[in-house]
Structure 1
Amino acid sequence: MPPSRTAPETRPGDDRTGDLIRWAAFTCFLVPVVLLWYGTSLAGTAGTALGLAAVTAVCRVLLRRSEQCAVRLLDEGPGPQAHHRGRHQRTGSGSHRGGRHTGGNSPAG
């Protein structure tokens, strides 16, 4: 039986996604200020600010959706476990099994 997954313990004020979004918002403010300081045009700075804000908004949506899916998966519990070996974990013998091959047509052996 596989071990049950438990949700990570969260402490009050321990919102990593919120911290990340706050830093991104701060960057959305700071980058245009620095660009203006170094003489970039107002239109270029505004375009950069809008682009950063759009990327930050999309990342926020994706992070929140990812958190919701993780919580949903933890609430559902473990599902049926299908046994899957994958492409490189085949059983049986063959010449593609790796290791040393003695004899054959190699120049050294």
Structure 2
Amino acid sequence: MSAPRTGPEAPRTTPPTPDTATDVVRWAAFSCVLVPVVLLWYGSSLAGAAGTAFGLAAVTAVCRVLLRRSEQGAARLRAEEGAPPAPPRGRHHRAGTGAHRGGRHSGGSTPVD
């Protein structure tokens, strides 16, 4: 049995990218089942729980279609531009020069009335 290869000849693998749309749809499908069960548990009618399940399923289906179309459009746009994926943005990954950042300002030392 040989030791695992390390160094420059080791094959490079990329970590799997999370499919966030699939995760959202899975949670939505879970809630399509859970919400009617809870409604029945607390005494709602069977027709009301079934109507709620149908409504949630319809909204989930529409959201799934919209998410897929959005992902495909973004992938097509990136492919046309030939640009690498966008850098992460968030609280600590702000784009821009920092013109709107807080803190002390260097300026005149005149007192404020």
**TM-score, length basis structure 1:** 0.60
1:15 offset after TM fit, Å? 1.0
- Equivalent residue, structure 2, for 1:47: 51
Moved over 6 A (4+): none
Q: Alignment partner for residue 16 of structure 1, among 11, 15, 20? A: 20
Rounded Cα–Cα distance in structure 2 between residues aligned with 1:76 and 1:39: 55
Count how many residue pairs are aligned between Structure 1 and Structure 2. Answer: 69
Pairs within 5 Å for 1:52-67: 52-67=56-71
Separation in 2, partners of 1:42, 1:73: 46
- Identical columns (%): 72
Q: Which runs of 5+ in 2 are unaligned?
A: 1-13, 83-113
Name the Cα RMSD after superposition. 1.6
1:29 is matched with 33
Cα distance in 2 for partners of 1:15, 1:77 equals 22
Q: Deviations over 1:60-104 (max 9, x none)?
A: 0000000000000001117xxxxxxxxxxxxxxxxxxxxxxxxxx
Structure 1, unmatched stretches of 5+, are 1-9, 79-109
TM-score by length of 2: 0.58
In 1, the alpha carbon distance for the partners of 2:15 and 2:33 equals: 29
| 2:64 paired with 1:72 | no
Q: What is the match of residue 100 of structure 2?
A: none
Deviations 1:34-58 (A, max 9, x none): 0000010000000000000000000
| 1:14 positional shift | 1.2
Structure with greater contact order relative to length (CA < 8 Å, sep ≥ 6): 1
